[in-house]
Chain A
Amino acid sequence: MLLSLFQYQFVQNAVIASIFASIVCGIIGVIIVEKRLIMMSGGIAHTSYGGVGMGYFFGFEPIIGALFISVLAALGIGYIKRRGGTRSDVVIGLFWSLGMALGILFIAMMPGYPPDLTSYLFGSILSVTRGDIYFMAAFTFIVVLVITILFSYWEAYMFDEEFASIIGIKTAFMEYLLFVLIAMSVVVLIRVVGIILILALFTAPTAIAGLLAKNLKLRMVLSIMIGSLFCFAGLWLSYVLNVASGAAIVILSAIGYLFVYITFLIKSKLRNEIN
Chain B
Amino acid sequence: MIYATNGSGDCKNAVSIKNLTVKYRETPAIAGVSLDVLEGDYLGIIGPNGGGKTTLLKAILGLVTPSCGKISVYGRKPGKSEKLIGYVPQISALDKAFPITVRQVVQTGMLKPNFTLFHQYTQKDKEKADEYLKRVGIYKLKDRMISQLSGGEFQKMLIARALAVEPKLLLLDEPTASVDASSAEQIFSLLSELNQSMTIIMVTHDLLAVSSQVKTLACMNGRLVYHGGTQLNEEIAKALYGYPLDLLKHGGMQGI
Contacts and interface: CB of A to CB of B under 8 A. Distances in A.
Interface of A: 34, 148-153, 155-156, 158-160, 162-170, 210, 213-216, 218-219
Contact of B95 (A159, A166, A216, A219): A159
Interface in B95-130: 95, 98-101, 104-105, 108-109, 111-113, 115, 117-121
B119 A163 contact: no
15 contacts: A149-B117, A159-B95, A164-B108, A166-B62, A166-B82, A166-B85, A167-B83, A167-B113, A168-B82, A168-B83, A168-B112, A168-B113, A215-B99, A216-B99, A216-B100
Interface string B161-186: 10001000000000000000000000
B63 interface: yes
B95 A162 contact: no
B98 A166 contact: no
B208 interface: no
B248 interface: no
Is chain B's binding surface mostly helix, strand, loop or mixed? Answer: loop
Given A216-B99, A216-B100, A166 B117 contact: no
Contacts of A213: 99
B120 A159 contact: no
Q: Which has the most chain B C-beta neighbours within 10 Å: A34, A149, A163, A166?
A: A166
A155 B110 CA distance: 13
Most chain B beta-carbon contacts within 10 A, residue among A151, A167, A213:
A167
A214 B143 CA distance: 11
A150 B108 contact: no
Contact of A153 (B87, B93, B105, B111): B111
Interface in B44-80: 61-63
Given A149-B117, A151-B119, A167-B113, A159 B105 contact: yes
Contacts of A166: 61-63, 82, 85, 87
Given A149-B117, A168-B82, A213-B99, A156 B89 contact: no
A159 B82 contact: no
A152 to B, nearest CB: 4
B94 interface: yes
A213 B100 CA distance: 11
B63 A214 contact: no
A162 B105 contact: no
B108 A149 contact: no
B145 interface: yes
Contacts of A210: 99
A153 to B, nearest CB: 6
A163 B161 contact: yes
Contacts of B85: 166
A162 B119 contact: no
Given A149-B117, A153-B119, A214-B145, A159 B111 contact: no
A101 to B, nearest CB: 31
